[in-house]
Amino acid sequence: MAPKLLYFVGTAGSGKSTLTGAFGKWLKNENYDSITVNLDPGCDSLPYEPDVDVRDWVRLSEIMQEYSLGPNGAQILAADMLALNIGEVVEVIDGFNTDYILVDTPGQLELFAFRQSSKTVVEALDLERSALAYLFDPVLARNPNGFVTSLLLSSTVHFRLPLPLIPILAKADLLSESDASMLKMWSCDLEALWSALCDESIDAQTQISLELLQALDTMGSTAELNLVSAETWEGLREIYVAAQGALEGGEDIDR
Specify if 201 maps to a domain: yes
CB 106 within 8 A of CB 112: yes
Specify if 56 maps to a domain: yes
Q: Categorize the per-residue pLDDT at 255 as very low, low, confident or very high, splitting at 50, 70 and 90.
A: low
Residue 32's domain comprises 4-248
225 or 223: which leads in pLDDT: 225
Predicted pLDDT at 249: 87
Specify if 239 maps to a domain: yes
Specify if 28 maps to a domain: yes
CB 63 within 8 A of CB 82: no
CB 248 within 8 A of CB 129: no
Specify if 254 maps to a domain: no
The total of structural domains in the chain comes to: 1
* Low-confidence winner among 67-81, 137-151, 208-222 (lowest mean pLDDT): 208-222
3-state secondary structure of 214: helix
Specify if 55 maps to a domain: yes
Q: What is the mean pLDDT of residues 53-72?
A: 94
* Number of helices and strands in the chain (H, E): 12, 7
In angstroms, the CA 180 to CA 184 distance is: 6
Specify if 204 maps to a domain: yes
Specify if 143 maps to a domain: yes
118 or 202: which leads in pLDDT: 118
pLDDT tens track for 93-139? 999 999 999 999 998 888 888 888 889 999 999 988 999 999 999 99
What CATH number is associated with residue 65?
Answer: 3.40.50.300
